[in-house]
Structure formats: structure tokens, C-alpha cells
Structure 1
Amino acid sequence: MASAVPSTLLEALYTDILRVPPTPARVPFDIYAFFAYVLPPCLFYQVVAVLVILPGTRMLRIALWPLIVFLAVRVEMFVDFSCGNPQWSFLNVGCVLIMFCIVIRTLDWALVNGPLKRPVRPAPSFLVDAIDLTVNFRGVGWNWSKGIRFPPDTRPTSRLHFAIYVFLSALFHSFTCGRGTIFDDTLPPLIRYTRSSIISIVAASVVCAGMQTRYDIGTFIGVAVFQQDPAQWPPLFDAPWKATSLHDFWGYRWHQLVRRTLIVLGGWPLGFAFGRVGYVVGSFLASGVLHNVVLATLNRGVEWWTMLLSFGMMALGIIIEHTFTQMTGRKVGGWIGKAWTMAWLLVWGSMIMDGFARAGLFACWRPFITAAPARWIVEHYVTTLDRWLRACAS
């Protein structure tokens, strides 16, 4: 009987490895789902990463891309990582983001002419280089990362001290992480938007802390376990709150993890057709598409235009800055630039956060947040402030 289960699993994998389920019902994530659905696109992702650093493989990469699209979409549509538990729906979001990036990154690798190279700190094996390429979203040390400005690194240079630093940073940010719509129509407009702005700022801080936690964990594993050079893990953010223009915020201070993905998806196509304006608009519309995919994963009833409008307006803001520079010869900056940046981010960022809230993202349970000591302090003051605002409205 013991050998019957593995035999049945292998037979199922043999017949179902490329099969589309006959019903729209999603498959709960288990060992079978992992091997039949999740592993195939990940393996082909790695295969294309190997091919793109070898010469003379472009046609093979192009031929493999439609298969990767099919396998990735198959995972997104038919595997339920939450196993029916709404509080674990953030796992489905993570899966969708990963598969989305796999599709766009392999498209990028399929279209590139020559092999990608890592002139800085080359690995002893092309296989190690390929593994680095699959997880290196910003292209640190690769020849395709030109134009990306990495934040200045003030962390310790010693490998041991660096590992300890990022471990403590991961703990700190995990404990500082941590709704329906954030716009309450029962309140007067001034109080309503004051309340939504406060919620948006708190939510943005949670997003930053959550991303920093995951990045610190990845950094610790890379440096302490796989003995990577700390220089391969430059800082993720560069004090976004210090931005003096929208270009400064989105181009340098905010994380650049999906910069290349968004450029390939929207920047290059619209840039080819409409020049610099098309490049900017296309990149931000691609970001809107990516975030809308996240919303649709959580709640298919959320309006699709929310993210496209919000990120489209971010593009408009950068175009306004560029027009101002052309007309006056001066770049947007100083305290006026900071006020302009924060006001624009707050207006359209609130719409982004409202989209996340209505989709139910903030209701998901996430590791550390439930038990985070800071969560109770933040909730206490936010709740107190909310009561005060409602009292002012009555």
C-alpha cells in the first residue's frame, strides 16, 4: 500500500502535467499541485535564465516563451494557495506576482540579442550565474542594470556584522508592520479625506516595512547561507519620505524591484510609438496593470480602472515636472518640490490604498503582524484618532 500512493501521484503527474482542469474550480495547494502546476514554470524560468547567458540561443528562448506563459497562467488560475482560507489569500497574491514577473522577465530574455553578462564579480559557473539572474530583479552586477541608481549603503562591510545587521533589521521591520473602503461617506469631506490620508500614510508605512522585512530575510540567507557578497544586496529603499519630486520618488527612492519588468511591459512599446512621454506613461500603466492583477486575485469585483487611473496620474505628474523643467530651466526640488510630491502622492496614493482595502488585502493575515507588539500601539492611536475625527463630524 505504501508504494501505491507515489505510483498514483506519478501517474497523475504524467497525465496532468500540461492539462487544463475541466472545471473552473481551483486546486488546493499540496504536493500534487506543486509538482503538476507550480514546478514546471519555475523550471522553465531557470532554463531560460541559463540560455540567456549562453550565445546563440535566442530562437530557442523565443520558442519556449509561449509555453512558459501557458504554464504560468495555469498556476494563477487553477491553484489556490490559501486552501479556501480568506486570511491566507495573500499567498495567492504572492503567486500571481511571481508568475507575472516570470512571464515578463522571460519575454525580456527571449527578445534580447546578445547573451547577458555579469562583468562585476562573475560566478565560477554559468549555472550559478543563472540562479543569480532568476532572483536578481534589479540586475545588480549585470550589464542590463544601467540607469538604475542604487541607494548609498551605510551598513557594516564585514560579512558577519552585515549578516547580524540585516537579521536585526528584519526583526525590527517585521514587528513594526502593522479594511472596506478608506473613504467614509458619512463624514464631511474635510474630515473624510483627512481620515483617508492618515490611513494611507499608515498603510504605506506597513507596505514599506513588509517589503523591507522580506528583503532583509533574503539578504541574510544570501550572505550568511550562500556566502554571497554583501554588495549583491544593496539597500532596497532610499528614504522615500525625503523625495523632492515625483521623479526622485519613483525613479530612485522607491524600490526598483520591478523597474525592468514594467519597462519591458509598457515603457518600451509606448516609448517606441510616442517617445519619452510614451515611455513614462507606458511604464506607469504597466504598474497599474500589475497592481490590478493583484486586486483581481483578491476580489474580481473591484473596479479594474482604479489602479490604471492612479498610476496613470503618477505618470502625468512626472510629465508636468518635465514640462516645468523645459519651460523654466530649473528642476523641481526644495521644500516646494517636497510639498508638491507629497500632495500628489497623497491624493492618488489614497486611491491606490482604497483599491487594496476594498479588495480585502489588509484583512489578510500575514506572518508577524498579528503578534507584532507595535501593532497594538498603532491600532490604539489610530482607533483613538478615528473616534476623535468622528466626534468632530457629529
Structure 2
Amino acid sequence: MTASGATAPSSISSFTGAKDFIHMKGEETLLDGVLSGIMRAFEELIPPHASRQPLSAASLPIALLGPSFPFLFLAYLARRADTHLIRLLVLPSAVASALYFTYHYKIEDPRYRIFEFIRFLVCYYMIGKSLNFAFVRDGRFKIGEKRLRRVNEVDPESGVDPALFPPWLRDGFELVCALRGIGWDFGRDVYIPPRTTSTQKGRFLSDATMSLIKHFLTVDLCDSLIKLVPGVGSPEGGSLFLADLPLHLRYCLSTATHILVGMVVIFGLEAGNDFVSLVAVGLFRSSPETWFPLYDSPWRSTSLHQLWGNGWHQLLRHMFLSFGGYPGLWLAGNAGMVLGAFLASGLYHELGLQMSDHRVVLFFLSQGVGILLENRYKRYTGKSVGGVVGWCWTFFWVVFVGQICTDAWAIGGLPGAVLVPRELSIVRRLVFPAMRYLAQYNASQ
């Protein structure tokens, strides 16, 4: 199955098989009707890939706003007292709208496959957070809050124009953007990287703008270099491992490409964090003190513990613990918690590819195995993994083992898809032509 494929047809086939089984048993009245109804509802919610509508400029606002309103409304209710029952009632519409408006559209052009990948990641993020907003009984508190306001209760300390930004939009947007939970009850134990921007609003906006430009240029350079790799750099996709190259060159190129893809992820997310912080602080008057970098120099990590606990971003930490780590803890103790959290992470990233390559899950599970091996090492030696040896150990698990994940994405066409449009690419429009001109000039001398 390709990255743009869908799992719905196989699921529908299973429904049909179950229906045939019921006919064979002679129980074809009530159960047959129930099963047929479930199948029709499933097809309506998640239609087969061939039945989905191409996402166009006309349908884009519907695809974006359709799931956003119930999701934001649910987040707003999570910031209001005595709304638990209402949130439970709103939950089905929030989940159904996320699935409906994601699966009813498709981006067929392989050049924009990365945006299809992001659409599905956002869909499952909405579902995960919606479940959390609905089931937390007392709502979501900021650290230090003693009570939540009731519905329609005015915030006397709010300096935001209520006509421009109604309370439900401001409160919902603030909670939705608090992915790491910094300053919130669900993010008490999250690691916070050192601050790189001023806490004074004017300076913060200036610092964040410069940071956004720096991160964009880095992404532009890395993305432009990836586009030069045969196969990987094309929208149709191709393996990292070029069979035509000698073995040593093949793995040198795959390693370099893998590192470039990692840098695109790191600096691309940092650029997104810069942009969201500018909107939150500049328009919604969020406090600059709640905005920090996403990463803490992951390339300096000397253990997998340090990498995944401190160096890497913690955007989805709470969701992965909720849906994998805590159930794993209940089933198999601390080891189950580690593997459960990484299993949840792997499934989430594979769902972005619509379950087309299970090596994505295998990579994330392997990181959990590496952390358990570090725990075993510490138990027997009394020392933590670290130093130069620890850095090499981490490099092996992330850079060498991690290539199975990047290869899955490369075959799916993600690295070769449009990330920075050529019209906006400074590297491809200015730097590369200048380099070619200088090379030709020197050759002619």
C-alpha cells in the first residue's frame, strides 16, 4: 500500500465477511440490520480512498473549519467549571468531525503529500486531545488556579477586546496551543529548554521574528539539499538506499540524507513554534513567559534518556503517556510504561502515513528497547550511560537504526514533497544559481 492509500477498504471487507458469516448462521434479522448500519456509518465517516473528494481551494476552508469549531468549543468547555457532562456530550461530534473532514478529502498530487501527512497527524491530535478534554472531570487548570470560571462569567483581568476575541475563542485557543502543558496542570513534570527570547513583549516579538527567519532559512537549505538526492528528492518517492552505489557510498548518502531530514523536522517545528508564539503573544496577548524553544540541542545528547526526555521536543508527551505509557504501566510496570509510550508515538506517526509502513512503529519501539537497556546497564553498574561512549550509543540508535523510519517516509514521498515552495526558496533561487555561476566562471579561467 502506498502512503496515499487507505485502510478503509480492508475494514469494510471485514464487515462484509462478518455479514456473510451471520447469513451462514441463519441469524439475519436484527444482527444483520445492525451490522449493515454499522458498515454504512463507517463508510460515511471514513469512505474508501477512491470515493474521497480532491481537496481544492474551494473546499479547503470547509476542511479546516469543520473540525476546528467543535474542537475549540470542547477546549473552551475544559476551561469552565461544571461542564463535564456537556463535554462528554460534545465529544462524539468533535471526534466524528475530525475524522469526517479529514477522510472525506484527499490530496492526490504527490508534490503536496507532506501536507496530506500533516492533515492526518492533526486529525489524530484533535481526537487525542478531545478525549482528554472530555474525560478530565474538573477541567484543565493553569498552575496556581484554584477555580475555573463558569460559562459566560467575565474575566475581570482580561485585556483582550471581547468583541474581537470572544472568551471561548481566546480560552480554547490558549489551551489548544499549550501542547507541552507549560504552566498547566498536565505539564508539571515536562522538561523546559533554556529560554532564548526576552520576556518583555516588544523584545520577545523581535526575538521570535528573527528566530523564525533563522529556522526558515535552515529548513530551506536542508530541504533544498534533500531535493538533490536521486529518488528521495522526487515527489514519487524512493528509498534512501540507492542500489546502484557501492555499499560504503550507499550508506554514507543514506546517513547524510537521514540527518538532513532530521534537521528539517527539528528546525521546521521550531519555525512553527516561533510563528504560533508570535500569533499568541501578538494577537491573543499570551504571556511571553510561557513560550520556550521546543528542542534543547538534541545532537549533544549522551543517552537515549537525555535525548527523548530533554533534547527532543515534548509536544505530545502527555498524549503518548495517556494513551500508551499509563496503560503500559498498569499492564507491565515501568518497562510497560516506556514501551507503551513509544508504541503510542509510533502508531501516531504511522497513522500519518495511513498505516502504510510498519517500520515507523518498529523504529519508535526500538527507542524504548534502547532506554530499557540503559536502565539495565545502570542497575548492574550503578552508572548512567553518558560521555563519549554514551553519545556514540545514542548516535547508533537514532542515526543508524532511525534510517528505517526515514526510509519508510522516503518511499512514501514525504522528503521529496513540496515543503518550501520554489518561489519562496532563497537557496534554490539565489544560492544554488550563484554557486553554479561561480563554478562555471572558475572552470572557464
Q: TM-score, normalised by structure 1?
A: 0.82
Please name the residue that 1:364 is paired with.
Answer: 417
Choose the corresponding residue for 2:338, options 280, 305, 324: 280
Residues 265-286 of structure 1: per-residue CA shift (max 9 Å, x gap): 2112222111111111111111
Please name the residue that 1:242 is paired with.
Answer: 300
Kept after mapping to 1: 8 A contact 2:78/2:133: yes
Query: Aligned runs of 1:351-390 on 2, under 5 Å?
Result: 351-367=404-420, 371-374=424-427
Which residue identity does 1:360 align to in structure 2?
A: G
SS of corresponding position for 1:315 = helix
Which residue identity does 1:85 align to in structure 2?
A: D
Kept after mapping to 2: 8 A contact 1:244/1:341: yes
The structural deviation recorded for 1:172 is 1.7
1:317–1:275 distance in 2 versus 1, CA, 3 Å: same
Please name the residue that 2:328 is paired with.
Answer: 270
Q: TM-score, normalised by structure 2?
A: 0.73
The structural deviation recorded for 1:375 is 5.4
- Structure 2 unmatched ranges of 5 or more: 1-42, 149-154, 159-166, 224-231, 233-237, 434-445
Residues 323-342 of structure 1: per-residue CA shift (max 9 Å, x gap): 11112221111111111111
Query: Aligned runs of 1:184-333 on 2, under 5 Å?
Result: 184-296=242-354, 302-303=356-357, 305-333=358-386
1:242–1:370 distance in 2 versus 1, CA, 3 Å: farther
Please name the residue that 1:391 is paired with.
Answer: none
Choose the corresponding residue for 1:42, options 61, 64, 68: 68
Structure whose alpha-carbon radius of gyration is higher:
2
Kept after mapping to 2: 8 A contact 1:153/1:235: yes
Please name the residue that 1:97 is paired with.
Answer: 121
Residues 303-328 of structure 1: per-residue CA shift (max 9 Å, x gap): 3x211111110000011111111122
Kept after mapping to 1: 8 A contact 2:91/2:131: yes
Query: Aligned runs of 1:92-171 on 2, under 5 Å?
Result: 92-119=116-143, 124=157, 127=168, 128-171=170-213
Kept after mapping to 1: 8 A contact 2:196/2:292: no
Choose the corresponding residue for 2:99, options 59, 68, 73: 73
Kept after mapping to 1: 8 A contact 2:186/2:318: no
Which residue identity does 1:290 align to in structure 2?
A: Y
Cα distance in 2 between the residues matched to 1:76 and 1:218: 22
Please name the residue that 1:6 is paired with.
Answer: none
Which residue identity does 1:160 align to in structure 2?
A: G
Please name the residue that 1:56 is paired with.
Answer: 82
1:307–1:324 distance in 2 versus 1, CA, 3 Å: same
Cα distance in 1 between the residues matched to 2:272 and 2:70: 25
Which residue identity does 1:189 align to in structure 2?
A: L
SS of corresponding position for 1:360 = coil
Which residue identity does 1:269 align to in structure 2?
A: P
The structural deviation recorded for 1:213 is 1.4
The structural deviation recorded for 1:236 is 1.0
Residues 23-49 of structure 1: per-residue CA shift (max 9 Å, x gap): 742223357745755434221112221
Cα distance in 2 between the residues matched to 1:101 and 1:324: 35
- Structure 1 unmatched ranges of 5 or more: 1-17, 381-394
Which residue identity does 1:241 align to in structure 2?
A: W
Cα RMSD, aligned residues only: 2.7
Choose the corresponding residue for 1:88, options 104, 107, 112: 112
SS of corresponding position for 2:180 = coil
Kept after mapping to 1: 8 A contact 2:46/2:103: no
Paired-residue identity, %: 28
Kept after mapping to 1: 8 A contact 2:54/2:105: yes
Cα distance in 1 between the residues matched to 2:368 and 2:401: 11
Residues 195-222 of structure 1: per-residue CA shift (max 9 Å, x gap): 2111111111122121111111112222
Cα distance in 2 between the residues matched to 1:344 and 1:377: 37
Cα distance in 2 between the residues matched to 1:332 and 1:214: 32
Query: Aligned runs of 1:165-184 on 2, under 5 Å?
Result: 165-177=207-219, 178=223, 179=232, 180-184=238-242
Cα distance in 2 between the residues matched to 1:346 and 1:338: 11
Kept after mapping to 2: 8 A contact 1:295/1:355: no
Is the deviation greater in 351-360 or in 263-272?
A: 263-272
Please name the residue that 2:397 is paired with.
Answer: 344
SS of corresponding position for 1:184 = coil
Kept after mapping to 2: 8 A contact 1:49/1:133: yes
Residues 220-267 of structure 1: per-residue CA shift (max 9 Å, x gap): 222233332211211111111111110110111111111112112211
Cα distance in 1 between the residues matched to 2:429 and 2:328: 46
Cα distance in 1 between the residues matched to 2:277 and 2:90: 31
Aligned residues: 356
The structural deviation recorded for 1:369 is 6.2
The structural deviation recorded for 1:371 is 4.2
Residues 50-79 of structure 1: per-residue CA shift (max 9 Å, x gap): 222333333332333333222211122111
